[in-house]
Each structure stands twice: as C-alpha cells, then as structure tokens.
Amino acid sequence: MTMNRILDFEKLKEQCKLLKADNVAVIDVSKITFRQELRDMCKSNVCGRYGTNWACPPAIGELEEGRKKINQFTKALVIQTIYQLEDSFDFEGMMEAKKVHKEIFEEITDAIKTMYPGLNSMGLTAGGCEYCEKCTYLDNKPCRFPDKLIPPIEGYGIDVTDLANTSGIPYNNGPHTVSYMSVVLLK
C-alpha cells in the first residue's frame, strides 16, 4: 500500500487549519532545496545556538547527512503561521509569535500521531529546540526528551524562502507581520 492511499492529505491540511495554521501545503521532499550557506551561518553561530543543543549543528551532523536523512521521506507537510506585530521592530512580538507557532506545531504533530499511529515522520521547525532550559548536549549526555526534540529547518540547510515558493505559500505576508514555517516530513 502506498502512502498516498494511507494518508489523506486534504484531511491533514484541514486538521492543520483547525489547529490554527494559516497556510498549509504538501510537497514532494525531492523539491526541497538545501544550501551550504545556511549551514555556514549556523557554524558562524549567528543565532547563538551552534554547539549548544541536540537539535542544532553540529549535533545533527553535516549537511549531506541531513539531506540523506530528509530524503528518506517522500512528502513534506509545510505549515505556516502569520502574526501581526505592533511595528517592524517588535522583537517581543516576534518572540511571542515564535512561541505560539511552536505550540501550534506541537499540537499538529500530536494530531498526526493520533490520526496515523506508527507513521514514520520527522518535524522541523522555526529556531532551535527550546524544550529544556539547559540541554544535556552541553554535559555530553543523551537528550532527556528525544521524542520532543524538533530541529530547526535552517539547521538542516533548508532554504525557507525556496520552501515557501515551492509550496505556494507566501513568504512575505505584509507590513508589520512575522511568519513562521515548520515541516512534517512523512514516509
């Protein structure tokens, strides 16, 4: 039985919308673009998370390892949430929006697990894992919650702008907004 007969993508997209995703699309994983420049930005520690947690580089391996891992999946459920900000410099609003996005994404991944028990899937989200206050990576110990660990899209070198374009989801949603994207990879 193929995944297309098992998974009802319209039902999945509908469920995402019910859980407050603003835009949802399904694309073939083969259409995802990987860029070494994004991984290089990780290595230069632009976000301050490089080498600090199990979800980010270098813990997730090199770009080619990540590409191989992702290419084991066939479909990507692309999810976007959009938030209104006070102005373009509303950093607190951006951080709150990212927190809400991650909560919505967790609800979506939980719903998918409930709808399709045993489904082989992997989530990637905006920003690094923030599940624990201090990650065990720094102590060279295994992740305490590997089932909650969700790596960042960019950590795998995935170009979010290309992902939006490929999936038909607008990358820019107007002035004074911030948009976050996540992906559920499905096999």
Q: Could you give the domains of the chain?
A: 3-34+62-127+152-186 (3.30.980)
User: What per-residue string of b and e applies to 22-46 under the rule 16 or more CB within 10 Å gives b?
Assistant: bbbbbbebeebebeeebbebbeeee
**Residue 81 forms beta bridges with which residues?**
180
- Tell me the pLDDT tens digit for each residue of 85-118: 999 899 999 999 999 999 999 999 999 999 999 8
Return the DSSP state at 154.
G
Using CA atoms, how far apart are residues 65 and 38, in angstroms rounded to an integer?
15
Residue among 102, 84, 106 nearest 173 (CA): 84
Q: Which residues contact 173 (CB under 8 A, 6 or more apart)?
A: 82, 179
Predicted local distance difference test score (pLDDT) of residue 130: 81
Using CA atoms, how far apart are residues 64 and 58, in angstroms rounded to an integer?
12
What is the pTM assigned to this prediction? 0.90
Which of 3-7, 23-27, 42-46, 128-132 is modeled with the greatest confidence?
Answer: 23-27
When pLDDT is averaged across residues 19-42 and rounded to a whole number, the result is 94
Does 140 or 129 have the greater pLDDT score?
Answer: 140
Reduce the DSSP state of residue 78 to 3 states and report it: strand
- The model's confidence at residue 2, banded by pLDDT at 50, 70 and 90, is very low
What H or E segment, with its residue span, contains residue 75? Answer: strand 75-84
Which range, of 4-18, 71-85, 147-161, averages the lowest pLDDT?
Answer: 4-18
Does the pLDDT at position 175 exceed 80?
A: yes
- Tell me the pLDDT tens digit for each residue of 32-58: 999 999 998 888 888 888 989 999 999
Residue among 28, 134, 123, 31 nearest 79 (CA): 123
When pLDDT is averaged across residues 53-80 and rounded to a whole number, the result is 94
Predicted local distance difference test score (pLDDT) of residue 5: 43
- β pairing state of 23-28 and 177-186: unpaired
